[in-house]
Each structure stands twice: as C-alpha cells, then as structure tokens.
Structure 1
Amino acid sequence: MSFTKIDHYEKEYIDAHHDSALNVTEGVADQPIVNPHFRRPKRRRLSTEEYVAGILRGDITVLSQAITLVESSNPDHYQQAQEIIERCLPHAGRSVRIGITGVPGAGKSTFIEAVGNMVTSLRHKLAVLAIDPSSERSGGSILGDKTRMESISSNPDVFIRPSPSAGSLGGVARKTRETIVLCEAAGFDVIFIETVGVGQSETAVHSMVDMFMLLQISGAGDELQGIKRGIMEMADIMVITKADGENIHKAELAKTQFQGALRLFPMPESGWRPKVYTCSAVARTGLEEVWKGVEEFLAHTESNGYFQHNRNRQNKYWMYESINEALRNSFYHDPQVEKRIGDYEQRVLDARLSSFIAAKELLDLYFEDKSAKR
C-alpha cells in the first residue's frame, strides 16, 4: 500500500488497486468555530491605578498580572511597569529578604515548604521567588516549585513565583528585585529568594537580600568538596539538611567540619560569625532553631546599623545595574544595529574581522544613529 502527500491541506489518497474501509476527508487549515457568534473577549489590561490599588489590597491575581507586566520584554509594557513600581516603592521595604541556595540534593523545596509553614503559623506572609540560571538557555521557568511545595502553594498567606523566563542573568535578577518591591507592597513581610543550584546566580541574589542561607547535606568523604569558597563566604547561616534516622550522626559530623572551616574565614563586615545548624524538614526537627538563628542575625545587624547600610549599598548597586540593562536593551533594539549585527557576527566567525573592531564599529553605528535622531 502506498500513500502520496498531495498538499499540506489536501487529502492523502490510497492506491486504487487496494480496497480500504478508511474514509479519508480533506483537512482544513483552521479549526471550525462551533458557535460563530461566540468569541472569547480579550482580557483588558488594567490601568496603572487599578494595578496599584489591587496590589496594595493584597489581591494575588492583580499582583501576578503586575509581575507578568514587569517581566515582559514588550517595550509597550515597560513604561507602565515602571510607573507601577514607582507607585509601590513607598509601600515596600518592610520585609525580611532571605536568599536560599544549596548543593543539588539538599532538598531546598522541602526545606522551604517546612520553614514556610512554620513562618506563616507565626502570622507572617511569605513570598517565594526564584532565580534560575538555566532559564537563559532554555527560555523555561524553574522546576515547578508549586508542584513540589503542595502544602504551602494553597496557603493564602504564601505566594510562589517562578523565575523570569528570559534574558541575561542580570536582567532576570533585576526583574526579581522589582518583583520583591511588588510583593512587599502587597503585604508579604518575609521573602525567600531561591537559587537553583550553586553557581553565578548566588552573586545576583546576594545583592538583593538581607541574609544568605546555604543548605548542605552530609555524606562520605570531605564535606567541603563541591562548595565554592565564595559561596561559603556569603553564607550567614549554614544548614545541614536531612538530619534524621541513620543520617543524624553524619549530619552532626558535617556540622563540626563546617564550623571549623567557617572559623578560618575573616570576620564578615556584618560583624556576625556565621552559624551552622542541622535540621530535618521531613521529621520537622531543628526548624525552630534555624528560624531563631535568622531572628538573631536580623537583631544583630539592625542593632549595629549593618542592615540599613547593606540596603543602601544594594540600592546604589541596582541603580547602576538598571542603567546597564537599559543601555543594553537600547543598543540591541536599535534599528541600525539590528540590521547590521548579523553581518558583523558572520565576519567575526569567518575571521575576516576582529571582535574588537566589530564591537567598535557597531557602537559607532549606534551612537551615529542616536545623534541623527536628535
């Protein structure tokens, strides 16, 4: 039996020499409308005033829509997003921002879920955000946090938001920081910012949080292997997870080793000597001690002035990051640059032009185009 394709929308036919019970009908380009009088109306975009009012009254639906607007790469959305953020800024800044990272297998989601339930039981409102470096490559979001945190995802006092799904790490981090502002304005007073894995995203997170928590698991051999020194130096609190059952002794041994390693580091600018805890999110043990450590750190840094000093320094850092991101977007969306950059890229790949000369000429082209429009 042979089949022949005539056209994308035309039928396939069967050789006439063979009988078949198959009833072949022609395909159609579009799915027919069952009820031609019914059209799903397009959702109206809210005004800036409606967005701000919804956020300030804690409307999760409006908050989610506003964050989507902030994350949008559509230039038409940018201006309204900035207006919303500016209007929300006076109502932000009243939360505790905690960065959480850990080695693969440390159980970040299970830990966040367990601590999150405890935090909300203390009458706090919790927002869980994420920065995922893998989203740069795949264009996707983080690994389904809502499905991995079932018990708190339905909690009305918890808001879980996946990572922004596009752009450079710097751009993703900037959007996460703007999301923090909106969440704080909506009344969330504890913000967890989770990073996926241990890598360069920790630096971005460290620039937007009040304290940094590193999760680690115990195991055979040298407990310090696989942990970058820079990541350990960022940690204000280290937590050895999965300290239950037969693993309790290993967890205590790991705690001792990490305490010894941390004592070798210089005293942090905060004046706080990092502490190490063990806990089990499954057995619900050690969690209260971890949270008590968080409260002790915050009390210490607020009393010595480091808390506000760190926030001020972060604001300065993000001023420059915002400038860099705006210049980057302006350059790559310039019509002349968009028109010529592919040609320059190919000439560099063919070794007909050096990367430095190509960059200089593209920048000259950009500035000439800007000057001509003045």
Structure 2
Amino acid sequence: MKIDVKQIDAGATQQRGLPPAVFKSPDVFDQECDAVFRSGWVSLASAQQLPNVGDMLPVKIGDASLLVIRNAEEEIGVFHNICRHKAAPLVDSACSKRVLVCPYHRWAYSLDGSLRAAPKYYGNSDEHMSAEDKQDKGLLPVRSVVWWDTIFVNLSGDAEPFEEFIRPLEQQLEGYDPAGLSLVSSTEYQSAANWKLAVDNFLDGYHVPFVHSQAVTVDSILNQDDLFLSDEIIGLRLPTGASDKPAKTDKPLPHFAHLTEENTGTQQWFGIFPNTLLFVDPVWVQLIIVRPEAPDFATETLTIYAANPDAMADEFAMQRQVLSDTLNEVNRQDIELLDKLQFTRTAPEARHSHLVPAWDQVNVRFHQIWLQKMQRAAG
C-alpha cells in the first residue's frame, strides 16, 4: 500500500488522528525503519535482563537485528547481530557465553566484539589468522547508553548526545533516585498490532478506569495533567494517582529513597519517542519497550521494578508478586484490545474518528511527532 506521508495534513490530526493507512502500510513501515528507528534514540531492553558477564540478548527492531552483551568489564555493549563474513545471524535467543561463535562458518568473537579466529582463513594452511587481518573484522558496534536501567541505542550514530535528549525528563524526575531500581519481573509479549497503536494506547489515560478498573479510579483520572516535556518526550501526571488507589496489602512496598512528600502520591507516565514507555509510581516502576518488526507485528518487554532495594526482602515477596501479576494483567488486557484495534483502526471508516480535546491532546502530540519526523525524512 503506497501512501505519501508528505500529503498527510498535520492540522487534521488534531481532530482525526493519523490516517488509517499509516497503521498497516508496508511502505510506511519501510520508511519508519530509517526515519524513526535508525535516526534517533530507541530502546532495546532492560540492563538487569543481562545480570552476568557473557549474557547475550538478540533484539530485532525495525529492519535491524542487534545483539546486547554484558562484557568482561560488566558493561553493556550493543552490536549488529551479524557475522562479518557473510552476515549470518549470530544468536537466535537469549544465552550466556564467553566466546561468540557464528553457526555458519565458525568465526569466533570475544565479548567486546573483536574477532578471535576464523578457521582455515588462509585455505589449505594451518597458519593462524594475523592480528592485522582480524583488525577490521570485529562485530559492528552500535552507539548505546543505559539510563534508568533502559538500554538505548542510536543506529545512525548521529543523534544528539543522549544527555541532551533525556534532560527534560531528568528534570521532571528530579528527586527520584533510579540507582535503587530492583528487578521484580520481566515478561515478553507479542502483539499483532502496529507499534504506534501500542504507544498511543499507553498515552491514553481516558481508557484506563474503563479497561483496567483494577488500576485506577475514574475520579483519580479526572485530575490528570498533560506533560509536554520536549519535542520527543510527552506524558501524563496524576497528582493523587497513587494515594487514591485502594491498598491491596497492609504492608506496602517502600518508596523511592529520599522521595519528596509531594511525589509520594503522584503517578507519572511518559512516552519517550518512539518506543519507550515509562511509568513511575512512588514504589514501583514499569518499563514497556515496544519493538516493531512489521506493520502489524511487534514484540514487547514489560519490566517491573521495585523503586527501593529494601522491597526485595523476603517479607515483601507477596507484595512483589501481587504487583507483577496486576501489571502483567493490565498489559494482557491492552494487547488483547490492540490486536482487535489493528483491524478496526486501519479500516477506511476510521478516518471519521473524533478526538476529544479534554483527553486526547497527548495522543495528538504523539501523532504530530511521528508525522514531523516522517515528513522531514521524506523531504
């Protein structure tokens, strides 16, 4: 399906949202791979998913196949998941190794991506491969950074410095200490919906009390504040979202260390364009990373953290399990809804949708961010 993004009317998105075709067009998805997922900062996974040296996690996003590695210095490195010989995929699933060996011709790589050896490189000779010949054949590295335990990459290598990109959100979250984030659970999901629908849904506070009545009350959501932090970071804030929520236990999890009194009842959630969805509660953090692989298919990682390491004590085991079960149930409800929405939102009749000024301004901004990037790339 061919669609000219330059012809999409930015003004119309304020009333109707993006046109239906952009949620299913293979041509649009191909354009997104360059204009959105290769050009800026995108997230891949949570660093605590790789706790040990040698842990490896293959990730697909857009048209890129990447490999995240915990190296010998216990740092996170990201490489293209392709052998430098004939571009064979190196790793198919999460694993832990000290030497990475290509399954095709047995080229071997160290955890830092350097080439160790290539069997019979000189043909009918027992000579070992020279350091000079190895030098330019290591894995292709990807610019990466870890922030709030989230692994971000910039495939093009020319995005603005990450600290500048994320500064508006850092300022919004002043007083929250991410150093104590402790992994409670990490769960993988698949969705037969366009990635933009997943992001749009996360930024839609309107649906929460109706689809997820276990998560928040209608009265609480009425107090939401829209957040427009930068050209690429938007979100919502519920000043009393946490304090209004019915307690599920008489022994609540401990708050972020040194949290201000103002924020002890506040919930905030953010869309970091394009695919990072961060929910910050006084006692827990939820991170959803959406990785599109096709117009109508995406994988998601839902990672849940305790905000304070004291919450990992045995005495809080039941509370952690309730938290994980509740948030995963919310995500399952969303994916079930999104998989159905993929059919109706891409129908021609969806162009007659009516967005509501009282609720949909953050969603409108997300659509406009996407459109600006796509039109700029299209010239």
Q: Which of structures 1 and 2 has the bigger CA Rg?
A: 1
TM-score with structure 2 setting the length:
0.24
TM-score with structure 1 setting the length:
0.24
The structure whose residues are more often strand, as a share, is 2
The answer to which structure, 1 or 2, has the higher relative contact order (CA under 8 A, 6+ apart) is 2
The structure whose residues are more often helix, as a share, is 1
